Structure 1
Amino acid sequence: MKILTLHGINLNMFGKRDPKHYGTATLADIDASVQALGKELGAEVECYQTNCEGEMAARIHQAYLDGIDAIIINAGAWTHYSYGIRDALAIHTAPIIEVHMSNVHAREEFRHYSVFGQLAKGQICGFGVESYLLGLRAAVAAVQEAKKG
């Protein structure tokens, strides 16, 4: 089982950016945690981060061509306005799990809406790094469920 974890704009600054909302874990810490749990769950997890919207769309397209089994995505601010990323994700039939480190519903109003939330199997937010780990567990379960069906 292959799962792609996507990190969007500014998320390379985890550990430095707004520790009140995002904690002190770095992106490397998050990737290591997700990949370690992936091994435990029998999933190969690739992690990818970019600050360039076109590069993100291209990686999502490549995931489709590669037949990736599931996508976990924290698109950062793109979550709230990027129809380009939404359209790229819409190509997929694989489960998409949206995650956020902070509770986006307890923050500024513009963060309450996700333009690709309708495409996601589910959304997990507010648990810091654990949001990613819960997202991975959900992705693995969704893939296993789909294989049964």
Structure 2
Amino acid sequence: MAPIPRGSPAGIVFRRLDAAPERCDAEGLLSACALADHDATCEWYGLCDLTATASGLAGVAVVRSVDPTTARLCGLALSAAYRDPSLGRRLVCEVVDRLRASGVEELTAAPPADRRVAALLTGAGFSPREPVQGCGSGWSRLPL
């Protein structure tokens, strides 16, 4: 993956979303992405705008461990309030870096309903899985 582009908005940081109010804001962003398979084992990450006076959640990603070397992207959403196209790529890159550091070798994703998210995944390097790899039609994978 390419490095995070220079010029990303100042004050936006990547971090885990562990507190209940943060998760509530994140669920609001994810409502349109049909996050149907998350559970208590999922890890929630976000791009948070430290300069915002309101919520300040620019993007959210939810990831579940499938096994020690595979993770599933359960949800990915970007706030319409942040129009910078580099934020989506940054969010995916940060999640990938975190997973790679923990020993994950592959990230999978179900077919997204949102065209913007689909384009983001394709741009990040996700490619269709072969039907023999045990996933349904449309699933994609990103080797880490």
Please give the TM-score of this superposition, normalised by the length of structure 1: 0.34
Greater strand content: 2
Please give the TM-score of this superposition, normalised by the length of structure 2: 0.35
